[in-house]
Amino acid sequence: MWNDKKQSPPADRGQAVALIIFVLGLGTLLPWNFFMTASQYFNGRLTAPNITSNGTTGVTTKDYNYDSWMALLSQLPLLLFTLLNSFLYQWVKERLRVAFSLIAILLLFSLTAALVQVPMQPDTFFSVTMATIWFINMCGAVLQGSLFGVVGLFPPRYSTLFMSGQGLAGIFAALAMLFSILSNADKSSAALGYFITPCVATLGTLLCYLLLPHLEFAGFYLNRSQCDTVETSQELLSSTDKKALGNVKDLEASGKFISESGEDQERSSVLKVFKKIWLMAACVTCVFAVTLSVFPVITVRVQSVYTENAAWNKVFTCVCCFVVFNAMDLAGRGAPSLVQWPPKESVLFPVAVLSRLVFVPLLMTCNVQNSELTVLFSHDCSFVTIMALFSFSNGYLASLCMAYAPQLVRPKDCETAGSLMSFFLVLGLALGASFSFLLGKLV
């Protein structure tokens, strides 16, 4: 079926492949979003009453700085193992990498859910939580890098769908937290339900991935590279057979042709691919460095001006910080399927990326709790407006970067380009997490 190179791809019946790739995108960012959105739960347990050495009950006053450490210890393993995945993906089968990562993430989420009901001292709880965050994001790095490489084999529209799925992961986590806050259950039961949710979602992601190769449309693209190589060799050998009765020079020329064409079919080196996509790599790094330097470390500290409204204050951070960010980020990630501007060749593209730096001072001068800076945007509407623009630009520009990069290389190198872009995406997150410590101190 795939032996005819000129054959058009089969139809994506019922948009099944599109839906699966969307779900795979959601699955890659579930760990990060669920630990980030649960900031209030973790900070609450870290300030819970504990038994002191003299047997009295006290409240822990130690500042664990959970949000900054969570961001940093999420991105360091992502950076390290995404880089490792970029170079070692040829030695470990992609199916093994993805399946192992999803199973490990499922087990670690299950552990986190189980610990909700286990009383622990703040220091012990902090250490276990940070270790869980490290290992779960280590697996997430391998998963994300592998899936970006797979998605790079499909038409550009599917890269946008994958990024949109990643954006939905944030909304998924934010809504799960909102429902747990609004539920009548006690805090422990609500937290347990919250962490069981990603367990079910991760299992669903694994099943979707296992189904993908069995769909005709997906099989066409997943097997195309291998089939193209076989077809080229067969065509070249056939051409050689026709000239078998010619003179020696013709045979030598034919042999040289086979050799050169065989080299053309090989994948380019990682460095050669990077030289073609370096601008997109730099742009995606900048986009996420700016985002993570203030989100969530600064944004979760913004408080409502309606301090007398207890119900609103209870959900303000969840709604105005996490729900707004993730909803607009998702809208931004989906927008390139309608319009792609600026184009990848335009100088306006890196200018648009750099212009997002303005959001750093804008968010730092919102109504941040106990801020030492002058508050310029105190009203809730101001904060929501800034957050909406901040998150939409994050999703839109990041999605454009990830969609443009595979277009700059040969089809054979799309998987390498996707893996490299995944690494630089995580590099931006790691840089932003590092800057967040400094910005957190400034406010």
pLDDT (tens digit per residue) in 228-287: 544 433 443 344 344 333 443 443 444 443 333 444 557 788 899 999 999 999 999 999
pLDDT at 259 (0 to 100): 39
Q: How far apart are CA 297 and CA 67, in angstroms?
A: 6
- C-beta of residue 375 within 8 angstroms of C-beta of residue 367: yes
Report the alpha-carbon distance of residue 272 to residue 153 in Å, rounded.
18
End-to-end, the C-alpha distance of the chain in Å comes to 62
Q: What is the pLDDT of residue 31?
A: 87
CB 51 within 8 A of CB 124: no
Per-residue pLDDT at 99 exceeds 50: yes
- In this predicted structure, the answer to whether residue 359 has a pLDDT above a threshold of 90 is yes
Instruction: Say what the pLDDT of residue 93 is.
Output: 82
106 has a pLDDT exceeding 80 = yes
β-strand 49-51 against 57-59: which pairing, if any?
antiparallel
- Cβ 418 vs Cβ 59: under 8 Å: no
Q: Return the ∠ at Cα 372 (arms to 369 and 375), rounded to 5°.
A: 70
The separation between CA 88 and the C-alpha centre of its own chain, rounded to angstroms, equals 20
The pLDDT assigned to 263 comes to 43
- Between 25-34, 108-117, 141-150, 173-182, the lowest mean confidence (pLDDT) is in 141-150
CA distances in angstroms from 368 to 305, 373, 376, 440, listed in the order given: 10, 9, 10, 11
Average pLDDT, the chain: 83
Report the pLDDT value the prediction gives residue 414, as an integer from 0 to 100. Answer: 85
Residue 307 has pLDDT above 80, yes or no: yes
Tell me the average pLDDT across 290-298. 94
Reading the block at residue 166, the tokens are 């990643």
pLDDT (0 to 100) of residue 235: 41
- What pLDDT, on the 0 to 100 scale, is given for residue 229? 42
- Which whole number is the average pLDDT over 204-230? 79
Higher pLDDT, 7 or 439: 439
- The mean-pLDDT minimum among 113-117, 422-426, 435-439 falls in 422-426
* Whether residue 342 has a cis bond before it, omega within 30° of 0: yes
348 pLDDT above the threshold of 50: yes
Q: Which of 73-82, 179-188, 356-365, 406-415 has the highest mean pLDDT?
A: 356-365
Statement: residue 51 has pLDDT above 70: no
pTM comes to: 0.76
Q: Which domains does the chain have, with CATH numbers?
A: 13-52+60-222+267-442 (1.20.1250.20), 227-263 (no CATH)
What is the average per-residue pLDDT within 279-296? 95
Q: Is the per-residue pLDDT at 19 higher than 90?
A: yes
Q: For 14, left (φ over 0), alpha (ψ -120 to 50), or beta?
A: left
- How far, in Å, CA of 142 to CA of 85, rounded? 6
A 10 A CB-CB count for 371 gives 17
Q: How confident is the model at residue 4 (pLDDT cuts 50, 70, 90)?
A: very low
Catalogue the E-assigned strands of 118-255.
none
pLDDT in the model for residue 86:
63
Q: Is the pLDDT of residue 11 over 60?
A: yes
Query: Is the confidence at residue 3, as pLDDT, over 80?
Result: no
User: Furthest-apart CA pair in the chain: how many Å?
Assistant: 98
Lowest model confidence (mean pLDDT) among 78-82, 104-108, 348-352: 78-82
pLDDT given at position 246: 44
> What's the number of CA atoms in the CB half-sphere (13 Å) around residue 110?
9
